[in-house]
Structure 1
Amino acid sequence: MIAQGETSAELSRVLERIAAMAPKGFGLGAHVGIGVGLARFFRMTYPKRWLDIYQSHSLVLMDPTICWAMSQTGAARWSEVEMPDPFKVLQKAALHGMRYGLIASVGPVVGRSILGAARSDREFTAAEMSQACVLLEDVARLTAPVSDGLKLSPAQAEALRQVAQGDRLVRAAGILGITESALKARLRAAREALGAKTTSQAIQIALENALI
């Protein structure tokens, strides 16, 4: 088992390597929960003026690279992201020196880890994009929560996972091949196992403890 201090030191080294490959800064969210703003580990080093604009205008909700990262895994250059950008987020970023960038995404839809990196002088190479994925996986591993004895059965975990992805109970039950009443029973059992009062709370606890 890695001691907490060793984990922190290793995480710092990984973040230093990410910073070295992103001279105009980076944005990282590890184990993103329901909604992009809910991440277990979060770090932003983009230029302050850009961050002020990005955060005050909630551009994360309109950022085409974030939409790309939540819909698939892997890595792509910002210029290759084929997502609508009606609010011209990438064009605005370029005005702050972030003319070139990459987006990397690893992990399941619920609990995904995302890394954006920027530079002003050139496009990222294929090797750098591969390296970004490896470093992001390292961050996800080093920031993964410990369950502290909390457990879910496979059926309970799958029930929570389907609901966490936004499926209505009827649809979720259909996907799982069970009745709606059976799904409700599994969700109730999951709440009891996690000591949660609501299904939403159970989902959050399960996400925080890497149970789904």
Structure 2
Amino acid sequence: MAKLYFRYGAMNSGKSIEVLRTAHNYEEQGKQVLLFTPAVDDRYGTGAITSRIGIRKEAIVITAKLDMFKLAEREMPNCILVDEAQFLNEQQVRSLCDIVDELDIPVIAYGLRADFLGKLFEGSYHLLALADKIEEVKTVCWHCQSKATMNMRCKDGEPVFEGEQIMIGGNESYLPVCRKCYGLARKKAAARIAGR
């Protein structure tokens, strides 16, 4: 019986490389995989999943018009992999559920759990609620040896705690940090603003 998996982790935890590794493992066995990535993630161009270490693979772009269920029904792959799943909307997550439940195709969705303010993304919210299995992809805090659970947004090397939820970026814009280091940075930023 197929399942919907949500594998989440902080920025720079290796989620995209996991997507590409999993796709490679299926394909090496002669099995078909469909790779999806949301249109909003244009960091390395649209229509591709790219890891920070430079490995890249073409992917189907998820747009508002794309019917993932019909595509899956037509192709009947052995597995579906979704990168940057935090950017999905509720209907798209429910479509992944339908693919699992009605077509018996496993779906593995990778993404961030929360934004730079610690708030859930829409896609993550629904994946956490509906996934059959939830797994954490772990990485280490940029500042200490603890497990990173937060995404700290930076501008010109300084942490920022206001702005739009979605701002596409990499190491120049986000650091994986533990909750303690995140809290300390937030207090320092608040003190700096109060002292102006």
TM range, smaller chain: 0.3 to 0.5
TM-score normalised per structure 1: 0.31
Q: Which of 1 and 2 has higher RCO (CA within 8 Å, sep 6+)? A: 2
TM-score normalised per structure 2: 0.33
Q: By percentage of residues, which structure has more strand?
A: 2
Q: By percentage of residues, which structure has more helix?
A: 1
